[in-house]
C-alpha cells in the first residue's frame, strides 16, 4: 500500500484522506482517543467502531487513551451502554486511572477541596476521609464543573480566587478544555485549570498532552508479547492541544480527526474540512499530523 507522505512545499500541507485504510498498514498499534472519535458523549460512532474492529482483525492493537476523569472500569461500563463493541479495542487507559494512583499515594488523611460532578468522586480512593472544606483542604482536585450543562468557568471566578489566596495546588484530572456532548459543547476540567493558572496557581495535570499518561500508555505496549516501539504507533484524536500535541511531544505520528472540537475552524461543516483552513489551523497551533480526516472511517 502506498504510504502517505507530506508534500515538500514552502507551506506544509496536511494530507486529507478519505479512509483510515490509507494509513492502517503503516502502524502496528493505535493510541485512540474516545470522546470526539469513538463517541460524542451520548452515542457511539458506528463507522469509527467498525474501523477499529477492522484494524484489529488485520492484526493491529488498539489502546483507547481517554482524558475521562474516572477509572477505566467506569468508562468500559459507559462504552457498553453506548454499544461500543468490545472487539473494537484491546485495552483502555484513562487520566482517571493515573489521577487515582497519584491520590492513593497521598494517603487517606490528606484532604482535598473537590470541584466536579458527583459521578467523578470515585477518583478518590476514600472520599469520606479525603474530601474537606475550603478551610480544611490541602489541595484542589478538579474533575470538571459541578454542573457542566449550565455553568461556565465564569461561575468559578470567586471560588478560584479564594483557593488561590490559600496557596493551594490544583490536581486536574482532565486537561480537556471543552468536549462535545451530543451536539452541545461543554466545558471540562481543563477550562478551570486554565483559569487557575491565569491567577498564578500551580496545576498538576493527569492526561493528554502531558508526559505521565504517555509513559503509562507506552508501558502497555511494551508489555505485549511483541513489544511495540513509538515508530510502530499512531495516535488518533480530535483534540489539537491534547491528542495531537501530546503525540508530537512523544515523537508519535498522529491522525487528526477534524470533525470534533476543531470543526468550526477548519471547514464550513464538520464533514467537509477545507485544505487551506486546515493548514492555517495546524500552523497556528504548531501541530503537524501525518494526515487528517473528518471522522474515523475505514
Interval 212-234 mean pLDDT: 92
Interval 169-197 mean pLDDT: 90
φ/ψ region of 63 (left if φ > 0, alpha if ψ in -120 to 50, else beta) reads beta
Angle, in degrees to the nearest 10, between helices 72-81 and 95-106:
150
Angle, in degrees to the nearest 10, between helices 95-106 and 211-222:
110
CA distance 144 to 1: 43
Give yes or no for a contact between 294 and 270, defined as CB atoms under 8 angstroms apart.
Answer: yes
The yes-or-no verdict on residue 118 having pLDDT over 60 is yes
pLDDT digits (tens, 9 = 90+) for 270-290: 999 999 999 999 999 999 999
User: Chain-wide mean pLDDT for the chain?
Assistant: 92
Closest by Cα among 183, 143, 165, 148 to 263: 183
Query: Residue 101: which residues within 8 A CB-CB, separation 6 or more?
Result: none
The yes-or-no verdict on residue 178 having pLDDT over 90 is no
The yes-or-no verdict on residue 167 having pLDDT over 70 is yes
- CA angle, 45 then 50 then 51, to 5°: 100
Per DSSP bridges, beta strands 139-142 and 112-115 are parallel
185: which 3 cell numbers? 459543547
The yes-or-no verdict on residue 117 having pLDDT over 80 is yes
pLDDT the model gives residue 2: 43
pLDDT the model gives residue 128: 87
Closest by Cα among 147, 150, 195 to 170: 195
pLDDT the model gives residue 109: 87
Q: 259-282: string of b/e by CB count within 10 Å (b at 16+)?
A: bbbbbebbbeebeebbeebbbebb
Give yes or no for a contact between 232 and 225, defined as CB atoms under 8 angstroms apart.
Answer: no
Interval 230-250 mean pLDDT: 96
pLDDT the model gives residue 182: 73
The yes-or-no verdict on residue 18 having pLDDT over 90 is yes
CA distance 33 to 252: 14
**Cis, bond preceding 292 (omega within 30 deg of 0):** no
The yes-or-no verdict on residue 10 having pLDDT over 60 is no
Interval 179-183 mean pLDDT: 76
Amino acid at each position: 500500500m502506498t504510504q502517505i507522505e507530506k508534500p515538500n512545499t514552502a507551506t506544509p500541507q496536511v494530507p486529507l484522506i478519505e479512509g483510515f485504510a490509507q494509513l492502517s498498514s503503516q502502524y502496528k498499534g493505535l493510541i485512540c482517543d474516545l470522546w470526539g472519535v469513538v463517541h460524542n458523549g451520548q452515542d457511539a460512532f458506528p463507522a469509527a467502531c467498525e474501523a477499529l474492529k477492522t484494524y484489529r482483525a488485520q492484526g493491529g492493537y488498539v489502546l483507547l487513551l481517554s482524558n475521562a476523569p474516572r477509572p477505566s472500569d467506569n468508562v468500559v461500563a459507559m462504552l457498553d451502554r453506548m454499544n461500543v463493541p468490545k472487539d473494537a479495542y484491546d485495552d483502555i487507559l484513562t487520566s482517571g486511572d493515573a489521577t487515582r494512583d497519584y491520590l492513593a499515594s497521598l494517603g487517606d488523611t490528606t484532604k482535598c477541596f473537590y470541584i466536579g460532578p458527583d459521578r467523578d468522586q470515585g477518583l478518590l480512593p476514600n472520599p469520606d476521609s479525603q474530601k474537606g472544606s475550603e478551610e480544611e483542604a490541602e489541595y484542589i482536585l478538579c474533575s470538571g464543573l459541578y454542573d457542566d450543562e449550565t455553568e461556565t468557568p465564569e461561575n468559578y471566578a470567586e471560588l478560584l480566587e479564594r483557593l488561590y489566596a490559600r496557596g493551594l495546588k490544583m490536581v486536574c484530572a482532565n486537561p480537556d478544555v471543552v468536549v462535545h456532548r451530543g451536539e452541545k459543547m461543554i466545558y471540562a476540567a481543563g477550562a478551570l485549570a486554565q483559569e487557575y493558572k491565569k491567577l498564578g496557581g500551580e496545576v498538576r495535570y493527569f492526561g493528554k498532552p502531558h508526559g505521565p499518561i504517555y509513559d503509562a500508555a507506552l508501558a502497555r505496549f511494551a508489555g505485549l508479547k511483541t513489544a511495540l516501539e513509538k515508530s510502530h504507533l499512531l495516535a488518533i484524536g480530535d483534540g489539537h492541544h491534547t491528542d495531537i500535541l501530546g503525540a508530537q511531544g512523544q515523537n508519535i505520528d498522529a491522525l487528526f480527526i477534524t470533525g470534533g472540537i476543531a470543526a468550526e475552524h477548519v471547514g464550513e461543516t464538520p464533514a467537509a474540512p477545507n485544505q487551506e483552513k486546515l493548514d492555517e489551523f495546524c500552523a497556528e497551533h504548531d501541530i503537524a499530523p501525518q494526515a487528517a480526516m473528518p471522522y474515523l472511517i475505514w
